[in-house]
Structure 1
Amino acid sequence: MSALEKQNLINWELAASTAAKLAAPGPTLSSNEIGAAVADLRRMADRAVPHVHQITGLDAAADLRDSQVLIVDRASWAKANTQSFSVMLAGTLANLEDKARGQNALRPTARAISGTVTGAQLGGILAFLSSKVLGQYDPFAALAAGSQIPPAGRLLLVAPNIISVERELGVEPGDFRLWVCLHEQTHRVQFAAAPWLRDHMLQEVDKLSGLLLGNIDSLGERVSAAVRSAGRTPAEPAGPNKPGGLMELLQDPAEKAALSHLTAVMSLLEGHANVVMDAVDASIVPTVKTIRQRFNARGKDRSAVEKFIRNLLGLNAKMRQYTDGARFVRAVVDQVGMAGFNAVWESADHLPTEAEIHAPADWVRRMGL
C-alpha cells in the first residue's frame, strides 16, 4: 500500500478546500491596499529580527536563511496546516491503517468514506481557526515528501486577520504589525537556536496522537463527553486539572503524561515569545502600551458560540499557556539572567516539566544555575 493510500483516513485536500469555503470573509481591501499591506508586513517581519536578537541574546537570530516568511490569506493558512498535520500524524495514521487492515475492519470504500467525513470535519475546525490566528511558525511541513519548503520551515503571517484586529482595536497599523512580528519571529528563532526541537516535538505529538487515536474503541464516547464539557457554564470552570473540551479525551495516565510534556513545551515557546513581545518599549513600538491594553481586553466580547468552540478546541487552555509560560520565563530571567535561561535551548533534557513551569526555581536548581 502506498503512503498516499495510508493517509486516506483523512482527506487532506478536502479539509483544505472545506476550510477555504467555510472561512469567514476578511476585511474588504482594494488590490492596492492588499499589496501595500503585504509589503509592510514583510518589512515589519524583517525589522523584528534584530530586536529579537537583542532581547533574547540568541545568535540564531542573526541568520534565518534556511526558513522563509510568507504573507497568506485564510485559505492558504488552512491549506498550510493540512500539510503540517499530515506530517505530524503520518506515523499514527499509518499504524491505524495497518491495524484496521489486519482486522479486515476497513475496506477501501469505507476508508474513503471515513477520510471524506474526517476531512470535512477538520476543514470546519480550520475554517474557524483561520480567522483567529495572526501568525504561526511551521517547522513541520518542510518534511513532507516532495516539499519545496526551505529545510527549517516557514513563518506564516495571516494578513486579513492582522488587519482585522488592528482595525477592531483602533491602533496604529505599523506598530501593531511590528508587535505581532516580534512574537512570531521569536518562534522562528527558537527552532533555529534548538535544531533538535522539531524532531523532539514530532516524536511527542506522534506519541500523544498514537495513544489517543489508538484507543479507538472508546473514542466516540469520549468525544461526546468532550462536547458536553465544552458547554460548561461559567459556574463550572474547567480548571487546571480539568481542561475541558477535546482535552478531556485524555484519560489514560500515559496520555496525560504525554500531554503534560507537550503542554510544558508549548508553554515555554509561547511564554518566551510573549516575553520578547512585551520587552519592547515606546522607542521600538511607540504605541505599545495602548496595543497591549486593547489586545488583552478583546476576549471579553466573544459570542456564546465562539466561546463554546474555543472551549471545545481547548483554546482557552492555550491562552493559559501564554500566561504560565511567560511567568516561568520572567522568573528564570530574574534569577539567572537571559544567558542562564538560554540553557533551555541546549537539549531536550533541559526543557522544563509542566510542574517546573509552575515552579521556576525547581528548573533553575535542576540546571545547576
Structure 2
Amino acid sequence: MSTGDSDQPNPFKGTPFEQLFGALGGAFGGPGGGQAFFQQLQSLMQPHDGPLNWQAAGDIARQAVAQEPDPFPTSRESDRVADAVQLADHWLDTATAFPSGVTTTAAWSRAEWLVETQPVWKVLVEPIAATSVAGVGNALPEEMRATAGPILGILGQAVGAMMASQVGQGLGALAGEVLTASDVGLPLGAPGKAALVLTNVRAFAEGLGVSEEDVVLYLALREAAHQRLFANVSWLRDYLIGAVTDYARGLELNASQIQERMQEQLRGIDPSNLESMQSLLEGGLFDPPKTPAQEAALSRLEIALALVEGWVDEVVGQATAQRMPTAAQLREAVRRRRAAGGPAEQTFAALVGLELRPRRLRDASTLWGGLRARSGEEARDGVWMHPDLLPTAADLDDPLSFRAEATAPEELSAEDFDAELRKLLDGPAGPTDGDDSPAGDEPTA
C-alpha cells in the first residue's frame, strides 16, 4: 500500500504518523525523499537479534573512536596498571573491612573498552529500545493496526536503526572520556576486572600539575574500591541494573503526545538525510513524560549511584590521607569532572533518559564520612548489608544527621565481655535475621 498514491486510503490518516509519511513522500512505492532515507537505513536494518542491531552500533562506535589515535597498551603499561592496583588494594585494606574484589587487571584502549563493556550496555539499553520500538505500533488506535501492519514493521525497523546509530555514537563518545571500567558508577566490565583506559587517563592528567604516576595510582584506588563494593555487596549490581529496566518497563508512548511532538519537530526535517531524521529521537520524540513508577526508578538509581560514588570517594580519601599528598587535589578534580559531566554523558542521557553521573556525590561522601567518624568503618560498611538500609534522598539532604544517634561501641573489660558472652549463650538459640555482614579481620583505625 502506498502512502503517496491518492487512489489508496492512507492507513495513517488522522494518526500521529500521517505527517511523518507525508514527509517521506513515496517511500513505499513512489518517488520522493523517503526512498533516499530508507536507502540510508538499509545497512542498519539488516536481520539481527533483539531490538537493536548491535553489530551496526559497534561499527559506528569504533568509527567514532578511530577519529583520534587509540594505541593498544603495551605489556609494560599493563604491568604498570597491575602494580598500581596491587598497591591500591594494599592501601584500601586499612580503610575498609571489605576484602579485595579484584581478580584480574587490564590496561585498555578505547576500542577495548567498547568490546569489554558491550554485554552490560546491552542489558541496560535493550529494554528501553524494545519498549520504544514496540511503542510506535502501540501508539496507534487498535482498529488501525491491522491495515498499517506492513508499514509499521518497516517504521519499527527504522526507529530501531536510528536508535542503534545513536547508541553507537553515544558509546563512541563515552569511550573517548571514561577513565576506568567503573567510571560511570555502573558495573560495566566483567566482575573483578579492574581496568584503566590509559589514553584517557593521560588526557585527564594534562594540566593538573600532578605526576602521571599519582594520577594512575589515584584512579587505580577508585577502581579497586568500586570492585570491592560490587564484589562484597552481592545485591548491588542487580539493584542498579534493575532500576534501569524498571524505568524501561514503565515507558509508555501516547499517540496524541507523539502527534504534537511530530508537528513541532518535522518542520525543517529532510527525510533524505538520516542525521536529520535522527533529530526526531534527539528532540525527545519517543521520550514521553515519565510516569510515577519511572520517576521512582530514576530516583532510586540516582541515589544509589550517589551512594556508590560517595562511598568510593570517602574510602579512597581515608586510604590516602596519610600517604598521598596530591590526593586532595586529585579528589577535587574527579569530583568536578563527575559533577560537570561531558558531551558523551549528555548524549547518552538524551538517548535513554538516564543521567549516568551522580548529582549528590559530595553529600553522599559527607554522609559516609560522618557515619564512620561516629561509629567506625564497620557501621559504615554494614549499611550495605541490605538495600532497605540505604540512606534516602532525605538523608542526603542532611547527611550529618544520618544515624546521628549512633556512636562507637564502648570497649568492654574482660569481665564485662565474659558476662555479655554468657547472656548471649544462655539466650534463645538460632541465627539473627539479616546477619550477612562480610567476613574478614576487624578493621584497623
Task: Check the 8 A contact 1:180/1:277 in 2, yes or no.
Answer: no
Q: 2:234 aligns with which of 192, 195, 204?
A: 195
Give the aligned partner of residue 17 of structure 1. 59
Whether 1:120 and 2:162 are equivalent positions in the alignment is no
Counterparts of 1:233-248 in structure 2, within 5 Å, are: none
2: CA distance, partners of 1:40 / 1:156: 11
Distance apart, 1:128 and its partner CA: 2.0
Give the aligned partner of residue 236 of structure 1. none
Whether 1:254 and 2:293 are equivalent positions in the alignment is yes
Q: 1:80 aligns with which of 110, 116, 120?
A: 116
2: CA distance, partners of 1:201 / 1:300: 19
Counterparts of 1:25-44 in structure 2, within 5 Å, are: 34-44=74-84
Aligned residue pairs, count: 330
The normalised TM-score by structure 1 is 0.72
Letter matched to residue 84 of structure 1:
V
Which structure 1 segments of 5+ residues have no match? 143-148, 226-244
Counterparts of 1:1-369 in structure 2, within 5 Å, are: 7-23=49-65, 34-59=74-99, 61=100, 64-65=102-103, 68-91=104-127, 100=137, 109-137=154-182, 152=191, 154-212=193-251, 214-215=252-253, 217=255, 218=257, 251-281=290-320, 284-292=323-331, 318=357, 320-360=359-399, 363-364=402-403
Distance apart, 1:252 and its partner CA: 2.5
Tell me which moved more, 38-47 or 17-26.
Answer: 17-26
2: CA distance, partners of 1:301 / 1:86: 26
C-alpha distance 176-352 of structure 1, shift in aligned 2 (>3 A): same
1: CA distance, partners of 2:165 / 2:81: 32
C-alpha distance 27-42 of structure 1, shift in aligned 2 (>3 A): farther
RMSD over aligned Cα atoms: 4.3
2: CA distance, partners of 1:169 / 1:92: 38
Larger gyration radius, structure 1 or structure 2: 2
2: CA distance, partners of 1:221 / 1:51: 57
Distance apart, 1:134 and its partner CA: 0.8
Query: Can you list the C-alpha shifts for 1:30-52, whole angstroms capped at 9, x where unaligned?
Result: x8x74433321121122211222
Task: Check the 8 A contact 2:129/2:160 in 1, yes or no.
Answer: no
2: CA distance, partners of 1:223 / 1:16: 29
C-alpha distance 366-285 of structure 1, shift in aligned 2 (>3 A): closer
Task: Check the 8 A contact 2:65/2:111 in 1, yes or no.
Answer: yes
The normalised TM-score by structure 2 is 0.61
SS in 1 for 2:313: helix
C-alpha distance 127-306 of structure 1, shift in aligned 2 (>3 A): closer
Tell me which moved more, 190-199 or 69-78.
Answer: 69-78
Letter matched to residue 52 of structure 2:
I
Which structure 2 segments of 5+ residues have no match? 1-45, 265-282, 409-445
